[in-house]
Amino acid sequence: MLYETLILPFVEFGFMQRALFGAFMLSLSACPVGVFLMLRRMSLTGDAMAHAILPGAAAGFLLYGLEIIPMTIGGLIAGVVVALGAGAVARFTIQKEDASMAAFYLISLSLGVLMVSSRGSSVDLMHVLFGTVLALNNDALILIAMVSVMTLCALGLFGRALVAECMDPLFFRSVSRLGSPVHFLFLGLVVTNLVAGFQALGTLLAVGLMILPAAGARFWTQSVATMCLLSVAIGLFSSAVGLLLSYHASLPSGPAIMLSAGSVYFFSVIASPRGLLLSHLRRSA
């Protein structure tokens, strides 16, 4: 019974195997990036950037259809343009960065939806917004694997610098020339992982695999390295459970993965050593 429920779907069906491999690769790269995004207090910025890639992906879709390379290149260009545009507005005007980022992402999201709707069907729009992890092809898996390898290599080489830049960016920039390059490297990792994630989870949910496992891991440990490992474990678990729920209950795969990660997050909020329950018991003792 357990074999038929938990293992057989991944053994019997190739689309489940590809979905699991893609989700696992995304978890290995996006979850540690999400930890740094959370430590920088940039979680909502990551959400804004996820929406910002939509016009570029939509432009690739309008020109070439659901082809992975044009949509990926378009998403990367749109993400970079929005990041630079929002940063320029914040730097040269009185507006703060959060407000300019919110304005840019709302414009980008609206523009992308209009672009897809103008030529595609509602099915195409749902594909771009929410992804189709159960329909990942070999090209998408190769892209996700390449992004994962690149991200893990970058984190291995610049991990200590990223931690230092997260904790005290002004001090780090004052004592090291790596401050600004590391900051832009991190933004590049965010954008590339969002572009890879949108192939499976769509532009609206791509950031979820970054933020939810990282937010859940934050309740269990204060060590950055342990937090990264735990967030990856939560991402892997949520991916497998979400795909099984999608298969057995005929649920949309992307939202099922996100709800699985959300369930782990709420469990962490309540039952972790730093969660509501134990914190309340310690105060009452």
147 vs 158: CA distance, rounded Å: 16
| Average of per-residue pLDDT values in the chain | 83
How far apart (Å, rounded) are the C-alpha atoms in residues 55 and 75?
7
Contact 50, 194 (CB under 8 A): yes
The CATH fold assigned to 2-284 is ABC transporter involved in vitamin B12 uptake, BtuC (1.10.3470)
CA of 103: how far to CAs of 12, 83, 85, in Å?
46, 12, 11
Q: Per the confidence metrics, is the pTM higher than 0.75?
A: yes
Tens-place pLDDT, residues 190-229: 888 988 888 788 777 888 889 999 999 999 998 899 999 9
How confident is the model over 72-121, as pLDDT tens digits? 888 888 888 887 787 778 777 877 767 787 788 788 888 888 887 777 66
In tens, the pLDDT along 28-67 reads 999 999 999 888 877 777 777 777 788 888 888 778 776 7
